[in-house]
Structure 1
Amino acid sequence: MHNRNYTEQDAIQRLLLFEEGLSGIIGLMKEEKKDVSKDDMDFLCQSLTQDVCRKCPKYRECYGVKQKETIGEIAAILEQAYQCSGVDGRMASAKFRRACVFFQPFMEEISWLYRLIYQNIYWEQRYDELKQVMCRQLDEQRLFIKECRGHMKKGEEIQGRKKIALKNLFFRNGLRFIRGREYVDGSGLLQLTVLVCPILGTKKSVLVKECLEKYYEKAFYKGMEGSWLHPGENRLSFIEENGFHILFGQKCCNKKGENVCGDTFSFTNFGRKRAVMLLSDGMGTGKKAYEDSRRLIETLEDLLEAGLSEEFALEMIQDALLFQDRKAFSTIDAAVISLKTGILKLLKAGGMATFIRHRNSVERIVPAALPPGCRINQQFDLKYKKLYDGDMVIMVSDGMLEFENMPEIPFRMESLIEKIKTDNAQVFADQLIEAVPVLEDGYDDDRTVLVASIWEKGHRNVE
C-alpha cells in the first residue's frame, strides 16, 4: 500500500510539473511582437529614396528641410491604401502632386511596395491567428491536466465515527472495511472508493453496495469491477444514482438510390452522470458523407470518454479541422442531459433545429453557428433548458425539415410532433420519420431522427 501511495504522489507531482511547463510555453508564445508598422515604414521610405527619389533634383529639399512633410504624405497615402486595399494616385494631396517631379513613378513604386507589405501583414495576421489556436489548445490541455490532478487528490478519507459505523456494518455482512474516500463531484453526485476484503472465502460485491446504501441512505451504481470479492484487498468504486432515466430511440432513412446514410449518430451515458446524443450530417450523401460524419462523431466520443467537457472537445475538433486540406464540412449536434438535475445543454455547430416536446407544447431551438472548421475563433451555439418528467428531446438532420420549404405543405414539424402521443422513444422515432412528407418530384436527402425520453425515477414506468 505504501508503494501505491508513492506512485500516486509521484504521478501527481509529474502532472504538476507538466502543467507548469505548459504554462511557461504559453507565456513564451504570448510575448508581444515587435512594431511591424514602423519597420514597414522604414523599409518603404528607404526603397523609395534609393529607387525613385534619389534621382530627383528636389531630393535634398524633400528629405531635408521638408522631411517631416514628405514622410507624413507617404503615411497618409498608406493609411488610405490600407482602407481601400490598394494605392491610387488620387490618394496624394493636390499640393504634393504639383510639387513632386517624379509623381507617376513615385506612386507606382509605392503601389508595388504596398503589395509586398500587405502580403507580409496578411501572413503575419494568419500566423498570429494560428498561434492563438495553439495557445488556446495548450491552455485547455493545461486546465485538463489540472483537473486530472485535482481528481487524483479529490475527496476526504473516511474517518472517525463514520469509519467505525461502516466497519461494524460491513463486519455483520462478513466483510472487513479497511479504508475509504468520499467526495461530491461537479454534478453534485456523491462518489465513494472503498477498500474491503472478505472475512472468509469469497463474497459477492453487491454486499458492499448494500452496506453503503444502508448507511448513506442513497442508491449507488457500482463501477466496472468484478461481481466477486476475492481473498485479500478489493478496491471498489461507487457513484450516487441519479434522479433521471433516459430512453433513446432512432430512425434513419437513406436518400433514394444510396445504400449508405450520410448521417452518423451516437447515444452514450458517460459515468452515469450525463446522457449524450450526438448527430453529424456529412456534406452530400452516401458513403463519402458517412465517412466524414462518422470520423467526427468517433473523435468527439473519444474526447468525451476521456473526461473532456463538450465545449473543449468541440474546440479541439474545430481547431484541428482548420488545417484540413479539403473543405468537406460535417455538422455537429450535441445534446447533453444531466441525469442528476435534468438540465439539457445543447451545442450546435451547423446542425438543424432541435425540438423539445413538453406535455402541452413543442419548443423549437434554432441554431445559428457554422459547421466546425469554417473559420478561426469560431463560436458554437450553446443553450440550456430544464427538462421535466415526460419531456422528449428530438434531434433531426436537414432531410427531416425539407418539407417545410415546400409551398404546398401548410404545416411545420411542430404539428407532426404534437400528433404523436406515445412516450416510447423508439416508437416515436419510427412514427415521426414516417409522418414527414417527401414529394416524389421534390428534393430527397438522408433523414435521421434521434429521440431521448426523460423521466424521473419513481414517477412512472415508460412503455
Structure 2
Amino acid sequence: MHNRSYNEQDAIQRLLLFEEGLSRLIELMKIEKKDVLGNDMDFLCQSIMQDVCRKCPKYRECYGSRQKETIGEIASILEQAYQCSGVDGRMASSEFRRNCVFFQPFMEEISWLYRLIYQNIYWEQRYDEIKQVMCRQLDEQRLFLRECRVNMQKGEEICGRKKMALKTLFFRKGIHFIKGKEYKDGSGLLQVTVQVQPLLGTKKAELVRKCLNTYYKRNFYRNMETTWLRPGENRISFIEENGFHVVFGQRCCNKKGEDVCGDTFSFTNFGRKRAVLLLSDGMGTGKKANEDSRRLIETLEDLLEAGISEEFALEMIQDALLFQDKGAFSTIDAAVISLKTGILKLLKAGGMATFIRHKNSVERIMPAALPPGCRIGQQFDLKYKKLYDGDMVIMVSDGMLEFENMPEISFRMESLIGKIKTNNAQVFANELIEAVPVLEDGYDDDRTVLVAAIWEKGTQKCGINVGRE
C-alpha cells in the first residue's frame, strides 16, 4: 500500500516536471517580431551602393549631403513594392527620376533585389508558421499533461461517518474497506475509487458496486473490466450511471461504378459518458477518398479513446494536416452527445448540414468551416443543442443533399425526414437513403447517413449498434 501511494506521488511529480519543461521550451520557441523593412533596407542600400551608385558621378552628393533623401527614396520604393508585390519605375518620385543619372539600372537592381528579398520573406514566413504549429502542439501537450496530473490529484478522501458507514456495509459482504476517494468529473457524474480487501479468498467486484449503490442511492458501473477481488489490496473505480442512452443506425451507398465508398464513419460510446458519431468525406470518390477519410477517422478515434477532448483532438489533427498534400483534404463531422445531460455538441470542419428530428419539427444546422489543414489558425464550427427523449440526430455526406440542387425538385431534406415516422434508428437510416432522389443514370456521389436516437433510461430500446465502417 505504501509503495503504491509512493509510485502515484512520484508519477504526479514527474508529470509536473515534464509540464514545466514544456512551458520553458515553448518560451524559447516564441517568435520575436522582426523589423523586416529595416533589415531589408540595410541589405538593399549596401547592394545598390556597391553595384550601381559607386559608378555614378553624383555618388558623393547622393550619399553625402543628400544621404537622408536618398535613403528615404529607397525606403519609399521598397514599401510600395511590399504593397504591390513588385517594383515599378513609377514608384520613384518625379524629382528622383529627373536627378538620378543611372535611374534605369538603379530600378533594375532594386527589382532584382526585391525578388530575392521576397523569396527570403516567403521562406521565413513558412518557417515561422511551422514554429507556430510546433508551439501550439507543445502547448496542447502541456495542457493534456496538466489535465492528467489534476485528474490524479483531484477528489476528496472518504472519511468520518461516511467512511464508517461504508466500512460497515462492506464488512457485511465479507470485504474490508481500506480507503476511498470521490469526485465529480467534467460531465457532472460522481466517480468513486476505493481500495478494498476480501476478508477471505476472493470476492466478486459486483458486491462493491452494490454497497456503493446502497449507500449513495445511485446506480454505479465499473470503470474497468475487473470481475474479481483477489486476496490482498484491490483498487477499483466506479462511475455513476447516466440518464440517457443512444441507439445508432447507419447506411451508405457507393457512387455507381465504385467498389468502395469514399465516406468513412464511426459511432460508439466512450466510457458510458458520451456517445460520439464521426463522419469524414474524402475528396473525390473510391479507394483514394476512402483511405484519406479513414485515416482521419481512425486518428480522431485514437485521440478520443485516450481521453482527449473533441476540440483538442481536432486542433491536433488540424495542425498535423497543415503541410500535407494539398490535394488530399477530407471533411470531419463530429456529434458528441452527453449521456448525463443530453446536450449535443457539434464540431464541423468542412462537413455538411446536420439535422435534428424533434417530435414535431426538423432542425437544420449549417456548417461554415473549411476542411482541416487548409490554412494556419483556421477554426472549426462548434455548436450546442439540447436533446430530449425520442430526438434523432442525422448526419449526412454531401451526396445525400445533391437533390436539393436539382431544378425540378422543390422540397428539401427536412421534408423527407419529417415524413419518416419510425423511431428505430437503423430503419430510419434505411428509409432516408431510399427516399432521397438520385439522377436517372445512378448515384452521382457516395452517400452516407448516420442516425443517433436518444432515449431516457427506462424507455424502450431499439437495439444498440456499435462499430466502424
Letter matched to residue 243 of structure 1? G
Contact persistence 2:256–2:443 (CA under 8 A): no
Indicate the residue corresponding to 1:109 in structure 2: 109
- Matched residue SS, 1:5: helix
Task: Give CA-to-partner distance per residue, 1:5-38, whole Å, 9 cap, x none.
Answer: 1111111111111111100110011152543321
Indicate the residue corresponding to 1:77 in structure 2: 77
Indicate the residue corresponding to 2:64 in structure 1: 64
Indicate the residue corresponding to 2:158 in structure 1: 158
Indicate the residue corresponding to 2:195 in structure 1: 195
Task: Give CA-to-partner distance per residue, 1:329-352, whole Å, 9 cap, x none.
Answer: 111000011111111111111111
Letter matched to residue 156 of structure 1? E
Indicate whether 1:169 and 2:169 are aligned: yes
Indicate whether 1:91 and 2:91 are aligned: yes
Letter matched to residue 292 of structure 1? D
Q: Tell me by how many angstroms 1:377 deviates.
A: 1.1
Cα distance between partner residues in 2 of 1:156 and 1:443 = 58
Q: Tell me by how many angstroms 1:325 deviates.
A: 3.6
Q: Tell me by how many angstroms 1:118 deviates.
A: 1.2
Contact persistence 2:31–2:128 (CA under 8 A): no
Contact persistence 1:396–1:448 (CA under 8 A): yes
Indicate the residue corresponding to 1:222 in structure 2: 222
- Matched residue SS, 1:444: coil
Cα distance between partner residues in 2 of 1:69 and 1:203 = 92
Task: Give CA-to-partner distance per residue, 1:297-331, whole Å, 9 cap, x none.
Answer: 00000011111111111111111111224521111
Worse-matched range after superposition: 203-212 or 346-355: 203-212
Equivalence map 1:10-409=2 (5 Å): 10-325=10-325, 327-409=327-409
Indicate the residue corresponding to 2:460 in structure 1: 461
Cα distance between partner residues in 2 of 1:416 and 1:126 = 48
Cα distance between partner residues in 2 of 1:251 and 1:342 = 24
Task: Give CA-to-partner distance per residue, 1:193-229, whole Å, 9 cap, x none.
Answer: 1112222333222111111011001111112233222
Q: Tell me by how many angstroms 1:231 deviates.
A: 2.6
Letter matched to residue 27 of structure 2? G
- Matched residue SS, 1:32: coil
Letter matched to residue 308 of structure 1? I
Q: Where do 5+ consecutive residues of structure 1 fail to align?
A: none
Task: Give CA-to-partner distance per residue, 1:422-462, whole Å, 9 cap, x none.
Answer: 1111111111111111122366111110000111223x324
Cα distance between partner residues in 1 of 2:406 and 2:442 = 8
Task: Give CA-to-partner distance per residue, 1:380-402, whole Å, 9 cap, x none.
Answer: 11111111111110000111111
Cα distance between partner residues in 1 of 2:278 and 2:56 = 70
Letter matched to residue 383 of structure 2? K
Cα distance between partner residues in 1 of 2:200 and 2:29 = 60
Contact persistence 2:156–2:181 (CA under 8 A): yes
- Matched residue SS, 2:181: strand
Indicate the residue corresponding to 2:466 in structure 1: none
- Matched residue SS, 2:314: helix
Indicate the residue corresponding to 1:432 in structure 2: 432
Task: Give CA-to-partner distance per residue, 1:154-202, whole Å, 9 cap, x none.
Answer: 1111111100000011112222211111111111111011112222333
Cα distance between partner residues in 2 of 1:78 and 1:196 = 76
Identity of aligned residues (%): 84
Letter matched to residue 205 of structure 2? S
The normalised TM-score by structure 1 is 0.97
Q: Tell me the C-alpha RMSD between the 2 structures.
A: 1.3
Worse-matched range after superposition: 321-330 or 425-434: 321-330
Q: Where do 5+ consecutive residues of structure 2 fail to align?
A: 463-469
Contact persistence 2:362–2:417 (CA under 8 A): yes
Moved over 3 A (4+): none
Letter matched to residue 50 of structure 2? Q
Task: Give CA-to-partner distance per residue, 1:98-152, whole Å, 9 cap, x none.
Answer: 1111111111111111111111111112211111111111001000001111111
Contact persistence 1:225–1:236 (CA under 8 A): no
Cα distance between partner residues in 1 of 2:461 and 2:22 = 49
